[in-house]
Structure 1
Amino acid sequence: MKDYTCLFCEDIYTDQDLASLKEIGEKYHLEAELFVCPDCYDDLRRLPLEEQLKALLLGSEYEWEEE
Structure 2
Amino acid sequence: MKIVVIGASGDVGRFVVEELARDGKHDIIRVGRTQGDHQVDITSDESVDALFKKIGRIDAIIVAAG
TM-score by length of 2: 0.30
Higher relative contact order (CA 8 A, sep 6+): 2
Bigger-Rg structure (1/2):
1
Higher strand share: 2
TM-score by length of 1: 0.29
